[in-house]
């Protein structure tokens, strides 16, 4: 049985996230961590601006408006722990992580804005060495900086985030993939009937698709082709397997 790596409670195969290292995660647990981290950052920012203000104005800040030094220290260490936990989760997220730009910034700081393929300095993309759809992770050692000409000579022209290739056993899904890609590009919603693994009935879902991804599975096929997007029924980001969909339609706004 799968358990959530954060809260150690039971996780549902269908509705929870599976990380690329095989661990499971409640999307609600991830959101709670992210919200707590945002909350602390805001509190610490407010604290430092209050301090600066009181220095300049020589104003006496009322008790309770500014957290004590102990409180700041406690919040800062909680924030560091949270960031470490989040980074470890983002490393194995089966999609692009929210801290993608920080990861890019870190690599540029370490190695300069230099293309790892041709060695030229200039504008660079951050890309996965082993792509996400082939079980690549977001760990720093699987990321590299590539210039636009090198990227395009490898993958053909186009937007870096829209590139998604089906593996040979998934060719039956090509028409749906094409439709979903055009929905993503045009900000359209998709509607489809969906059947959960043990469910007897189909339910109609309306989803704003964000990306296609291949999630590793333990069956012979090795990967499950999924679309990730905002589900209007659940009011949350969900992942849907294409093999459990039927009657896919595009809805424009």
State the residues that interact with Zn ion by CB under 5 A.
Answer: 4, 6-7, 26, 29, 115, 117-118, 147, 150
State the minimum distance, in angstroms, from the CB of residue 143 to Zn ion: 15
State the minimum distance, in angstroms, from the CB of residue 126 to Zn ion: 13
Closest CA to 143 of 168, 110, 186: 110
* Contacts by 26-29, CB closer than 8 A, 24 or more apart: 27/236, 27/237, 27/238, 29/4
As given in the structure block, the two tokens for residue 143 are 């990321």
Q: Which is nearer to Zn ion, 32 or 46 (CB)?
A: 32
Q: Where are the alpha helices (DSSP H) in 15-99?
A: 27-57, 69-91
DSSP state of 224: E
State the minimum distance, in angstroms, from the CB of residue 213 to Zn ion: 21
State the minimum distance, in angstroms, from the CB of residue 18 to Zn ion: 13
Q: Which is nearer to Zn ion, 119 or 197 (CB)?
A: 119
Q: Which is nearer to Zn ion, 46 or 81 (CB)?
A: 81
DSSP state of 95: S
Q: Which is nearer to Zn ion, 7 or 61 (CB)?
A: 7
Closest CA to 177 of 191, 169, 165, 186: 165
Q: Is 92 in a helix, a strand, or coil?
A: coil
């Amino acid at each position: 049985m799968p358990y959530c790596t954060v809260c150690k409670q039971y996780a549902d195969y269908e509705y929870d996230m599976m990380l690329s290292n095989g661990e499971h995660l409640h999307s609600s647990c991830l959101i709670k961590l992210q919200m707590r981290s945002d909350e602390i950052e805001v509190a610490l920012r407010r604290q430092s601006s209050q301090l600066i203000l009181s220095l300049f104005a020589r104003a006496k800040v009322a008790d309770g408006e500014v957290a004590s030094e102990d409180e700041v220290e406690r919040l800062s260490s909680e924030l560091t722990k949270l960031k470490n936990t989040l980074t470890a989760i983002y490393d194995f997220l089966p999609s692009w992580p929210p801290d993608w730009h920080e990861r890019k910034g870190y690599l540029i700081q370490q190695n300069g804005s230099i293309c790892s393929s041709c060695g030229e300095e200039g504008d660079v993309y951050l890309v996965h060495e082993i792509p996400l759809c082939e079980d690549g992770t977001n760990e720093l050692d699987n990321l590299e900086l590539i210039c636009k000409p090198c990227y395009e000579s490898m993958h053909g022209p186009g937007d870096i985030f829209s590139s998604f290739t089906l593996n040979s056993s998934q060719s039956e899904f090509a028409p749906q993939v094409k439709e979903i890609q055009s929905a993503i590009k045009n900000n359209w919603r998709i509607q489809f009937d969906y059947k959960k693994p043990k469910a007897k009935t189909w339910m109609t879902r309306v989803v704003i698709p964000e990306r296609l991804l291949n999630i590793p599975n333990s069956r012979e096929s090795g990967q499950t082709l999924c679309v990730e997007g905002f589900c209007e029924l659940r009011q949350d980001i969900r992942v849907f397997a294409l093999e459990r969909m039927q009657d896919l339609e595009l809805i424009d706004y």
